[in-house]
Chains A and B, each alone.
Chain A
Amino acid sequence: MALRHALAAATLALCATAAAAQAGADAARGRQLYESRCIACHSIDAGRVGPAHRGVVGRNAGSVADYDYSPAVKASAVIWSARTLDRWLADPEKTIPGQKMNYTVPEATDRADIIAWLAKNPR
């Protein structure tokens, strides 16, 4: 079961990376955006105000150990992919009502670039 989940997660991660690449996403620009917009709460490797992001593409929402998620995210069945991350960044409350992030990235290009950067930081 664990192996199946790991394979599914790996497949999703690969799909996400491919999707981002297909969309012409710019991971380098995504890193710059991440470091100016997301960095107040998030880091790649450290849980801070928000959970650590290493390996986020392909993992279940609410699954980072020792992070105090909202009950809504904890209970959600969302698996983070390029598609779900795009929806989340565009409108987190619409994606998982009751979440606590609330920060939005309105521009689709910005979201794609940020997701491309996240995909470059696998577990």
Chain B
Amino acid sequence: MSNTRELVVPSRREFLTSTGSMALSAAGILLLAGQDSRAQGMGGAMPADVSILNVALGLEYEAINAYQLGAQSGLLQKPVLDVAVKFQGDHKGHRDALIATIQKMGGKPVEEKKLDDYAKALKADTLKSQTDVLTLAAMLELGATNAYLGVIPAFKDAQLAKVAGRLAADEALHWTVLNNALGRPLPADALPFGA
């Protein structure tokens, strides 16, 4: 944990006035969608959307823990380590926003697993170099980008679909940086994500 920093969740005012933050605030997702008061009154009226958000939350938990495993592996060197910690912070922002939204919609957020569980599932013991860590991270970020894009049509609420698009954009940014760090070429064709 020494290689990570806690995400400082900005207040609503700070979030709304910040132009530099990449992470969504805990209160942000529905505030961004402009439906905070509406969400509070949903009372579980949209279980399908809550279900999608909970799957997304599980995905964010895994991303946070994947970066944690990378950060504490000792394999990442500065400035790559700093970038990984920043991306982990973004995922923590996504997590907090998703939890807040699920709760406001009357749902129950899924729980995070133990770090060891993620390590086993992601075969963290096979990571032997910085390239291995970045390759894993890039694979997960690409998958997350496509996952968020892929569930957009399933949302009943168009504003939540828009938020999924914003989350996908964050993941695409992460993938692009990681892909570049790995020395891989840019995608040859247009529209590389979501299909």
A positions within 8 Å CB-CB of B: 35-41, 43, 46-49, 70, 93, 100-105, 107
Q: Does B146 contact A (CB under 8 A)?
A: yes
29 inter-chain pairs at a CB distance below 8 angstroms, sorted by A residue, are A35-B139, A36-B146, A37-B143, A37-B147, A37-B150, A39-B139, A39-B142, A39-B143, A40-B59, A40-B143, A40-B144, A40-B146, A40-B147, A41-B58, A41-B147, A43-B121, A46-B120, A46-B122, A49-B55, A49-B62, A70-B51, A100-B52, A101-B55, A102-B51, A102-B55, A102-B151, A103-B150, A103-B151, A105-B150
A49 touches B59 (CB 8 A): yes
Are B54 and A100 in contact, CB atoms less than 8 angstroms apart?
A: yes
Q: Is B13 an interface residue (CB 8 A)?
A: no
Q: Given A102-B154, A103-B154, 20 more contacts at CB 8 Å? A: A36-B142, A37-B143, A37-B147, A37-B150, A38-B143, A39-B142, A40-B59, A40-B140, A40-B147, A41-B143, A46-B120, A46-B121, A47-B121, A48-B62, A49-B62, A93-B154, A102-B48, A102-B55, A102-B151, A103-B147
Please give me the 10 A-B residue pairs with the lowest Cβ-Cβ distance, nearest first: A40-B143, A102-B154, A40-B147, A39-B143, A46-B121, A49-B58, A103-B150, A100-B51, A40-B144, A37-B146
Q: Which of B30-62 contact A (CB under 8 A)?
A: 48, 51-52, 54-55, 58-59, 62
B153 within 8 A of A: yes
CA distance A47 to B118 in the complex (A): 10
A26 to nearest B CB, angstroms?
Answer: 16
Residue of B nearest to A46 (CB): B121
- Chain A binding surface, main DSSP class: loop
- Closest B residue to A97 by beta carbon equals B48
Give the bracket for the number of chain B residues in contact with chain A: 20 to 34
Residues from chain A with a CB closer than 8 A to the CB of B154 are: 93, 102-104
Q: Does B78 contact A (CB under 8 A)?
A: no
Give the nearest-CB partner of A48 in chain B.
B121
B123 touches A (CB below 8 Å): yes
Q: Mark B146-166, 1 if CB is under 8 A from A, else 0.
A: 110011011000000000000
Residue of A whose beta carbon sits closest to that of B57: A49
CB-defined contacts of A107 to chain B, threshold 8 Å = 195
Contacts of B147 in A (CB 8 A): 37, 40-41, 103
Q: Output the nearest chain A residue to B193 by Cβ-Cβ distance.
A: A36
- Nearest Cβ in chain B — how far from A109, in angstroms? 12
**Which residue in chain B gives the minimum CB-CB distance to A34?**
B143
